[in-house]
Amino acid sequence: MHLNKNHHHKTMKKHLLCLVAICLSSLTFAQEQIKINIILNEQSDATTLSREASWLPTKQERRAYVVETLKHHAETSQQELMGLLRELEQNGLVSGIQPLWIVNSICCYATKDVIHSLEERRDVMTVYQCEEVHGLFDEEITLTDSGDNREIAENLLKVNVDKAWELGFTGQGVLIAIIDTGVEMSHADLQGRLWDGGTAYPHHGYDFYSDDDDPSDTQGHGTHVAGTLVGTGASGTRTGVAPDAEIMVLKVFHGEDNLSEATLWVEAMQFALDHGADVLNMSLGQPLPNAGTKLMLRQACDNTLAAGVVAAVCAGNSRQIQMLAPVPNNIWSPGDCPPPYLHEDQMVNAGGTSCVICVGAVDNNDVLGGFSSEGPSTWTDVTQFNDYPYISGSPTQIGLIRPDVCAPGVNIKSLDFNTSNGYCLKSGTSMATPMVAGTIALMLSKEPELTPAQIDEILENTAVPLTSHKSNDFGSGRIDALAAVNAVPTWNDVIEVDGHQGHIFPNPSKDVFTIECEGMHLIEVYGMDGQLVKHIQTASPVHQLKGLTSGTYLVKITTDDAVIVKKVVKL
């Protein structure tokens, strides 16, 4: 009996210890913090922001207005929620609070109970778990020779970059933000091309993954991209499309395993806007993102457009895995966001616009890269946008045509991060994307006031067509840097047709603009967001332009044998 009692006590103690262990385990699980993004209901309307900013005379002033408005809106609307999160942080239920303003949201780590309570708040649109994914980058890496006598890389010659240089446009005065794995900044071909971040950012950028100011590359992808953008050829081969541009290095990937997460990309985008970048290069993307991630990326790209900044974004390398990512989900996000300019082939199924010029890849014979992701995309799965419906085979519900353009992206020679003077070959839409971003820099070195819509329209209209229409393989075609630069208007050009000068006066005007130009038959007026405001057919050499609200506009005059674009300001 005594033995049985002891045995009973031991058994009860064992069960009790098990129960305590289970409770402690459950408590630990309940207290485990998950990284989330809280998107608030109050989101800025990008179209309204663009319209409000359009009355300012310069691109720089318009960007500053949009950035400050976004910041103020986020700060005021997040105040109550930030107070709650700070209290929860003191109690160990929340950590790592990071407010964002390019999208009105707050990123943090929180327990499941906190997440459930946040989802019930009236000021919260959605709460979603941040997905950390592996970066899916290039197809292959091969070391190659340095080249002789500052040879020009074959991919640059293919798109006539060298001929654009001969016109004097080399990217001078343009700042490109590289959102990537970082950059090997000791490489000889990058010297003199790195952004001066002052004492705050002495290493020419920021590492958002590690949250420090050293964005050095430990993977190689970002260095290769940087070489295609600005490589000077100091070590033998001229690899940079825009060798006189500067690069801002924004690292968003973990160096060892390429892990990243999309809120880091958004943080980098807002850093770039806040610190004066003219172009974003985003050779990255997430296949099959959840609806919350997709919403956040689209909102960020919409607001980037409102700020007047354009982004070249890769289409992705998923064409060969359509069983896992079938159309309309084969394009990576944010490459699946809409462009700043809607091509006429898209107008049957038009929707919203954003800053994204989506880039596919071809080889140097203009053959499509077998990896290059296939469009279209659709946004009917994100309630807040619900545009670009897609039904396979429908003549009208065609989705969003992706990509916009393509560029050489197969066996591209650029910088090797393992040395200070070496080169290597890589393939992927990641390699095609800086070809486009670099070409944009050439265009901006000719005319800094170009809007994203104008940049996109010029790139698409001057591309070498590889299909009869804008397609979900090649977009509008393979870029031609020389043709794009030649198509860039200069606002100070005199209107002159067949020896007769034309005028728009007064400019600026408080009321009516008078347009005088012999032979004109069409006048089109565009807002600085790229939207058509007026379409006027005329047979007269004089026209009174009326009815414009205050702001800056582009007036496009078509004559029998010329097209002239002039900027006007309505006070």
How does 41-55 read in b/e, with b if 16+ C-beta sit within 10 Å?
A: eebbebbebbbbbbb
Residue 555 is part of which domain span? Answer: 495-570
Q: Is 92 exposed, middle or buried (0-12, 13-18, 19+ CB in 10 A)?
A: exposed
Distance CA 286, CA 336 (A): 10
* pLDDT tens profile 23-41: 333 334 447 999 999 999 9
Q: What are phi and psi of 377, to 5 degrees?
A: -110, 170
Using pLDDT thresholds of 50, 70 and 90, give the confidence band for residue 138.
Answer: low
For 210-235, what is the mean pLDDT? Answer: 96
Do residue 195 and residue 269 come from a single domain?
Answer: yes
Does one domain contain both 235 and 337?
yes
pLDDT at 3 exceeding the cut of 80: no
pTM, two decimals, is 0.84
Same-domain pairing of 301 and 202: yes
- What region, left, alpha or beta, does residue 19 occupy, with left being phi > 0 and alpha being psi -120 to 50 degrees? alpha
* CATH label of the domain that carries residue 506: 2.60.40.3080
My answer on whether 268 and 335 are in the same domain is yes
Are 262 and 242 within one domain?
Answer: yes
Q: Rounded mean pLDDT of the chain?
A: 90
pLDDT confidence tier of residue 176, bands split at 50, 70 and 90: very high
pLDDT tier at 495 (50, 70, 90 boundaries)?
low
- pLDDT tens digits, 76-115: 999 999 999 999 999 999 999 999 999 999 999 999 999 9
Give the pLDDT band of residue 397 (cuts 50, 70, 90).
very high
Residue 531 in tokens: 């939207």
CB atoms within 10 A of CB 148: 8
User: Model confidence over 457-490: pLDDT tens digits?
Assistant: 999 999 999 999 999 999 999 999 999 999 987 6
Cα end-to-end distance, the chain, whole Å: 102
- Is the CB of residue 280 less than 8 Å from the CB of residue 355? yes
- Is a pLDDT exceeding 50 seen at residue 1? no
Q: How many domains are there within the chain?
A: 4
Long-range Cβ pairs for the range 59-62 (8 Å, 24+): 59/308, 59/448, 59/449, 59/451, 62/307, 62/308, 62/528, 62/552
Residues 223 and 239 in one domain: yes
Q: Please check whether residues 477 and 530 belong to one and the same domain.
A: no
In a domain, 321, yes or no: yes
Query: Residue 283: which pLDDT band, with cuts at 50, 70 and 90?
Result: very high
Higher per-residue pLDDT: 449 or 22: 449
| Same domain for 540 and 470 | no
Higher per-residue pLDDT: 356 or 552: 356
C-alpha–C-alpha distance, residues 48 and 270, integer Å: 19
138-148 average pLDDT score? 72
In angstroms, rounded to a whole number, what is the distance separating the alpha carbons of residues 302 and 390? Answer: 21
If asked whether residues 544 and 474 sit together in one domain, one would say no
CATH of the domain at 119: 3.30.70
Residue with tokens 């050439």: 442
Q: Is 362 in the same domain as 438?
A: yes
Q: What is the pLDDT of residue 496?
A: 54
Cα dist. 48→62, 78, 355, 529 in Å?
13, 21, 15, 10
Least confident of 5-14, 64-73, 149-158, 255-264: 5-14
The pLDDT value given to residue 342: 96
Q: How many CA atoms lie within 13 A of 417 on its CB side?
A: 20
Q: State the virtual CA torsion across 570, 304, 449, 351 in degrees, nearest 10.
A: -70
Say which residues have a Cβ less than 8 Å from residue 251's Cβ, sequence separation at least 6. Answer: 180, 181, 182, 205, 206, 207, 208, 209, 210, 215, 216, 217, 222
Stated length of the chain: 571
